[in-house]
């Protein structure tokens, strides 16, 4: 019998075994059993309800914890988005500054160049200043384009036979005047037991070295910058050590993020966009290695670059040719002697500049201002039996662009070499030029030595290069 029923009968002065008022005993017991079962069902229902309440309470606590976690995540995401927005705004402000500063110098010194009272020495210094600032602008543009390609997943790495020792020496020679201008000693130490030639991407490797050494010189006001290179197994190790201002532990944690510099005071004092290290580390990782940093504020920094680099056993390749490019074009001023080149370019200044370089190299140059005229000139020369040895095709022109012009020429069975010569250097532009029928992809601004050498290669073998 249920305990509650027993207590209630006792309080009422009733005996469970004795029916009240002389009732039938069996009916009394049946009644008590039914009441007892009712109490038991109530207990079971209560227990079930309590368990349900406990489960619901636990679920509510879990949901509350999850809600709190989501709130924290949302707050972190909001903070990260706001930080990214601030970083990009600061980046745009820095880019504006980095563009306007050299442009101020370029505009100012070009005015001095035409000043009749300027001496030959002053004009030469003005020209050198204009070139130096223009190269800085190109470096900035290249960084922004590289960032675009990285974020779009369109950055490609190649591995070709490369003399890494010569490449390191070239970078050392390039950066030494900058170090000497600050009275900073720039040392290069290469492990004498290391082979010369490896299979790497020479363009990206050089870009990383220039960035690391340039940063080290920029942030070192006195003392030294030391570059050490060695090989361990199939990994190339490069350390760039400086005695510069150093980097705090807090700043180190975000050093390889895009748009980031050590702190705002660094940006104000030294300039820059905060893209170089992010791009360099991305390239290092794409090359099978990494880029890390250690630093002590006030004592200097050490950047360690590693890349996967299998030794090359082949004969000197493309990079060796590039290293001697300027020398080869200087020693062969008429390397294009007798060659017919069609230049399709709508910009009058670029027409004059490119045609001048080509004619000085011995080429016979015909200039047209749009794609429609380029198609007409190329097909006319082909019909006359005097086809052009090469067409340099700007891809963005009025009336008919270079893509359409190249497609029309190919559809008319024109098989001569066509090189895209374009300022389009975003992700996908290269592929678009090849899809249109171009044999090579050359980007502006042009360098005289590179232009002439690439033209020579394309005339001799249209498939010898694809990008420069």
Residues forming CATH 1.10.287.130 domain(s) in the chain: 17-153
Cite the residue boundaries of each domain of the chain with CATH code 3.30.565.10.
160-311
Interatomic CA distance for residues 445 and 404, integer angstroms = 23
Neighbours of 431 (CB within 10 A): 11
Q: Please give the chain's pLDDT, 468 residues, in tens.
A: 778 777 877 787 787 777 777 677 788 788 888 888 888 888 888 888 888 888 888 888 899 899 999 999 998 888 888 877 776 766 666 677 677 777 888 888 888 888 888 899 989 988 988 888 888 788 777 887 777 777 777 778 888 899 999 999 999 998 898 899 899 999 999 999 999 999 999 989 999 999 999 999 999 999 999 999 999 988 999 999 999 999 888 888 778 877 655 555 554 444 556 688 888 999 999 999 999 999 999 999 999 999 998 888 765 444 444 444 444 444 455 789 999 999 999 888 889 889 999 999 999 999 999 999 999 999 999 999 999 999 999 998 888 999 999 999 999 999 999 999 887 666 567 888 999 999 998 888 788 888 999 999 999 887 655 544
- This model's pTM is above 0.75: no
Strand partners, 278: none
CATH number attached to the domain at 17-153: 1.10.287.130
How far lies 262's CA from each of 189, 212, 281, 298, in Å?
28, 15, 16, 13
Of 278, 281, 288, 276, nearest to 200 by C-alpha is 288
Q: What residues have CB less than 8 Å from 421, skipping those under 6 apart?
A: 345, 354, 392, 393, 394, 395, 442, 443, 444, 446
Q: Which residues pair with 401 in a beta bridge?
A: none
Q: Give the homologous superfamily in CATH for domain 324-460.
A: Response regulator (3.40.50.2300)
DSSP 92: H
Return residue ranges of the chain for CATH 3.40.50.2300: 324-460
Q: Residue 454: which residues within 8 A CB-CB, separation 6 or more?
A: 419, 440, 442, 465, 468
The position carrying tokens 């920029």 is 218
160-311 to CATH, choices 3.40.50.720, 3.30.565.10, 3.40.1110.10, 1.25.60.10: 3.30.565.10
């Amino acid at each position: 019998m249920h305990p509650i029923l027993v207590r209630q009968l006792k309080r009422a002065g009733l005996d469970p075994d004795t029916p009240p008022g002389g009732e039938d005993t069996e009916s009394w017991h049946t009644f008590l059993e039914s009441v007892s079962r009712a109490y038991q069902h109530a207990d079971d229902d209560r227990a079930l309800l309590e368990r349900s309440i406990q489960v619901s309470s636990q679920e509510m606590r879990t949901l509350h914890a999850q809600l709190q976690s989501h709130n924290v995540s949302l707050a972190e995401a909001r903070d990260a988005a706001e930080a990214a927005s601030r970083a990009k705004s600061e980046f745009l402000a820095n880019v504006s500054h980095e563009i306007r500063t050299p442009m101020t110098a370029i505009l100012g010194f070009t005015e001095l160049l035409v000043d009749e009272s300027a001496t030959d020495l002053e004009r030469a210094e003005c020209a050198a200043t204009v070139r130096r600032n223009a190269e800085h602008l190109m470096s900035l543009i290249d960084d922004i384009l590289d960032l675009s390609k990285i974020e779009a997943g369109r950055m490609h790495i190649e591995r070709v036979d490369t003399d890494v020792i010569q490449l390191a020496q070239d970078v050392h020679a390039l950066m030494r005047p900058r170090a000497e201008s600050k009275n900073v000693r720039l040392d290069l130490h290469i492990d004498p037991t290391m082979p010369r030639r490896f299979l790497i991407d020479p363009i990206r490797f050089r870009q990383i070295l220039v960035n690391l050494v340039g940063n080290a010189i920029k942030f070192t006001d006195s003392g030294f910058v030391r570059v050490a290179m060695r090989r361990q197994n199939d990994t190339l190790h490069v350390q760039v050590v400086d005695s510069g201002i150093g980097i705090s532990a807090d700043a180190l944690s975000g050093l390889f993020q895009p748009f980031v510099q050590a702190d705002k005071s660094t940006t104000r004092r030294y300039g820059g966009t905060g893209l170089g290290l992010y791009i360099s580390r991305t390239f290092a990782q794409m090359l099978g290695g990494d880029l890390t940093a250690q630093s002590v504020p006030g004592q200097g920094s050490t950047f360690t670059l590693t890349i996967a680099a299998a030794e090359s056993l082949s004969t000197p390749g493309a990079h060796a040719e590039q290293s001697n490019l300027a020398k080869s074009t200087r020693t062969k001023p008429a390397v294009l002697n007798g060659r017919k080149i069609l230049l399709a370019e709508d910009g009058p200044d670029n027409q004059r500049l490119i045609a001048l370089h080509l004619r000085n190299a011995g080429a016979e140059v015909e200039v047209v201002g749009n794609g429609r005229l380029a198609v007409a000139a190329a097909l006319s020369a082909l019909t006359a039996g005097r086809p052009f040895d090469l067409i340099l095709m700007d891809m963005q022109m009025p009336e008919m662009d270079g893509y359409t012009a190249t497609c029309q020429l190919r559809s008319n069975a024109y098989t001569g070499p066509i090189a895209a010569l374009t300022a389009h250097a975003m992700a996908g532009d290269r592929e678009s030029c090849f899809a249109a029928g171009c044999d090579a992809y050359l980007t502006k601004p042009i360098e005289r030595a590179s232009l002439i050498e690439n033209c020579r290669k394309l005339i001799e073998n249209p498939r010898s290069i694809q990008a420069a």
